[in-house]
Chains A and B, each alone.
Chain A
Amino acid sequence: DAMVIQNPRYQVTQFGKPVTLSCSQTLNHNVMYWYQQKSSQAPKLLFHYYDKDFNNEADTPDNFQSRRPNTSFCFLDIRSPGLGDAAMYLCATSIDQERIQYFGAGTRLSVL
């Protein structure tokens, strides 16, 4: 089945050690998103790619970066993870600005 796949499901990193989370999709959607969801909170958009164009949300910390080498893959890079960056990271896709977004299962990041 076409889907959004996130790897790994669980990631443990050390304080300050760079970490990369990955997302792939077989839906051939042109928009890909990264959301952060902290415990007991709603998901919050960090940034998105519209085709190759990167769009950062105004309050996304500089510590978070993203790469999209092709339509199918998107990466979330956290340059120097802090304890406050422990969260579930969700990747989603959509066709253009349609409100229907398709989410992956998420990667739960722990920072020690």
Chain B
Amino acid sequence: DAKTTQPTSMDCAEGRAANLPCNHSTISGNEYVYWYRQIHSQGPQYIIHGLKNNETNEMASLIITEDRKSSTLILPHATLRDTAVYYCIVRVNSNSGYALNFGKGTSLLVTP
């Protein structure tokens, strides 16, 4: 799996967009970018994933650069409940083992 690099921590004001970056410069053509988050004392929660096109769902948007070497998770209107550790994971979609390699993630603090 490609290695990912994320900032250790970020702050965001409530109601503003939170933009969480992830570098994955060694990503290969068949690897997807996945985002999970973990709120304190809870299990990880899937947010969104993509291959090369930008993706949007009810939780977030995922912007992947054209060269696929980096991506940004966007929470359009952050709330206090979005305070969590956000993990960017790069994986092929099948036949490559089962473990999610979470890495260190970004600790996002949403402030009032």
Chain B: interface size category: 20 to 34
Partner of B44, one of A6, A45, A50, A90: A90
Q: Which of A31, A43, A44 has the most CB of B within 10 A?
A: A43
- Give chain A's interface secondary structure class: strand
Count of chain A residues near B, Cβ 8 A = 29
CB A21 to nearest CB in B, in angstroms, measures 13
- Give chain B's interface secondary structure class: loop
B7 interface residue (CB < 8 Å to A): no
Q: Which residues of B contact A (CB under 8 A)?
A: 32, 34, 41-46, 49, 87, 89, 91, 93-96, 98-105
Partner of A100, one of B43, B46, B98, B102: B46
CB-defined contacts of A105 to chain B, threshold 8 Å:
41-43
CB B12 to nearest CB in A, in angstroms, measures 21
Chain A residue with Cβ nearest B45: A103
A62 interface residue (CB < 8 Å to B): no
